[in-house]
Structure 1
Amino acid sequence: MSTTQRSESMNSFFDGYVNSKTTLRLFVNQYENALRDKVEKENIADFHSFKSIVPCINHYDIEKQFQSVYTNSKFQEFQKELTRKIYYYPTFIKKEGAIEVYQVTEDMRIGDKRKDVVYDILLNEEEFEVKCSCHHYEFRGILCRHVLCLLREKRIKEVPLKYILERWKKNVKRKHNFIRCTYSGMEDTSVAKRFDMFCAIHFMKWQK
């Protein structure tokens, strides 16, 4: 995850819970509220993932593989990539040892213009290592449409478990579900006062 994405994720997590007036005591309380709300939403999503199944959109074996293990929301995100793979066709470039190099050209709109963007895909079938220069897997945790179109052409019907991340599984026990926060009379300490000052400065900069 990039620094910008991580910052946006944190801002989204605390949105509506903290502001420039937030003290250390209130921050801890609001953090617990934000975490409790996040856990509750995830528990509801997990419940629906177990009780209802998002149907597959085709007979692609890899889609069935992800359907069986991923939460509904993450599986639907995977399906969006899967449906877009039909627009792309990989071109073999070269082979270096066990690594095959392919390219996929994507027609993208940039502002008012359209531009062809070329992505490089590296595939090691012996160890089943696959990487795409779009870095969608590194950022989002699911295989990109460029890789999926290559797997289709190679007639690969199942991906290794290392490409099915634990944090998106239906049955995962998320660690933050067990986090407990306490505030033990720190409001008058120098640490608390420095923290309160830091929060005020941080949020004033954030809101500019």
Structure 2
Amino acid sequence: MHFESAMDAQRHNNEKLNDSSESYIPVYKTPLSLERHVAQVYTLSIFYEVQAEICSACFGCRVLSVNENDGNLDYVISDEHNMVFKVSFVVGDVQAKCSCKYFERIGLVCRHLFVALKDLKLDRIPQHFVTTRWCKKGLNIPFCDIGDPVIENCVGKQQNEVNVNQLWADFYTCVALAEKDESRFQAFSKVIKEQKKLLSLEDKNAMPASTRKQAVIESYYGSTAPVEVTVFPPKQAKNKGSGRRIKGPKELSIEVNNRPKRLCRSCNALCNHDSRNCPLKTQD
């Protein structure tokens, strides 16, 4: 119950954040098209963080020098804290790297890179700087790399389901059209029975009963049985406390003899019994 409550709370927070990112229009603080593109790509909370970097690039940073070398631009930029950083920008491949390592650490474009992008009059953030983790559509991508044969198999199964659904729709449409007229209904029923007999005969001739049963099960589960079984159920864990071994008669007698002697008031002897279970008392 606690797990379900935690999952429900997580789903509620996720839906709330998705709704705020999709429906809320943030207030822009600069006339740059880069800021509009950031609002379209990133979630609302990440947009505010990137917006702070854009504002700092516009109003707090300045370019100290720009050097061009074989199509590469090297910017030396000073920020509002008088810290100097170097931005290397490859114009042809639209690749850039800043010495502050903000993108490598966080995955967001830093203020120094925004200075270079603004200087080059780019309207959009380069695609390789857009990290999917911070985007609105981050949940729409697969979390694992699936091979092409698996994808093609899934697409084929989906197309098969579409064809089956279409066949059922055609069948029910024919039944609805034929049930109003007795002669048409009998003719349609005869055709269906003939096709059923023909398909059953072909199915019996094609494969034995055991194979047909396996084919039905595989069709139900949507996958084929592997030739070699490599995944087995886990071994049953022993989770009922620490086990106790069975003691032998010799060990039990040693434990009895090692017990401290008691004075029996019936036989007045130091032994392992008392007056309630004295052997002399039971004999009497």
TM-score clears 0.5: yes
Q: Which has the higher strand share?
A: 1
Q: Contact 1:119–1:133 (CA<8 Å) still a contact in 2?
A: yes
- CA distances 1:103-139 after superposition (whole Å, capped 9, x unpaired): 112353xxxxxxx321010000100001111111122
Alpha-carbon distance change, 120 to 39 in structure 1, aligned in 2, over 3 angstroms: farther
1:129 is aligned to 95
Tell me the CA shift for residue 171 of structure 1: 2.4
Q: Using CA pairs under 8 Å that are at least 6 residues apart, name the structure with larger relative contact order, 1 or 2.
A: 1
SS in structure 2 of the partner of residue 49 of structure 1: helix
Provide the rounded CA distance (Å) in 1 between the counterparts of 2:237 and 2:56. 53
- Correspondence 1:147 to 2:113: yes
1:171 to 124, 137, 159: 137
Q: Which amino acid aligns with 1:76?
A: Y
How much is the aligned-residue C-alpha RMSD, in angstroms?
A: 3.2
Question: CA 1:188 to 1:51, structure 2 compared with 1: closer, same or farther past 3 Å?
Answer: same
Taking the aligned partners of 1:151 and 1:157, their CA distance within structure 2 comes to 8
Counterpart contact for 1:88–1:149, Cα < 8 Å: yes
1:35 Cα offset (Å) = 7.0
CA contact (8 A) 2:74 2:87 kept: yes
Task: Please give the alpha-carbon distance, in whole angstroms, between the structure 1 residues aligned to 2:131 and 2:62.
Answer: 26
Give 1:92 deviation, angstroms: 3.0
Q: Find the counterpart in structure 2 of residue 103 from structure 1.
A: 76
Amino acid in structure 2 at the alignment position of 1:147: L
Query: Which stretch shifts more, 140-149 or 72-81?
Result: 140-149
Aligned twin of 1:92: 65
Cα deviation for residue 69 of structure 1 reads 1.8
User: What number of residue pairs does the alignment pair up?
Assistant: 148
1:90 aligns to what SS in structure 2?
strand
Change (3 A) 1:37 1:119: farther
Match of 1:79 in 2: 51
**Greater Rg by CA:** 2
Q: Give distance in 1, aligned partners of 2:75 and 2:140.
A: 37
Uncovered stretches (5+) of structure 2, i.e. residues with no partner: 144-234, 241-284
* Contact 1:89/1:150, CA 8 A, preserved across alignment: no
1:53-106 per-residue CA deviation (whole Å, 9 max, x = no partner) reads 212212200110111121100111111111111211223343332322111123
Q: Report the TM-score when normalising by structure 1.
A: 0.60
Q: Secondary structure at the match of 2:21?
A: helix
* 1:48 corresponding residue in structure 2: 20
Contact 1:101 1:123 in 2 (8 A): yes
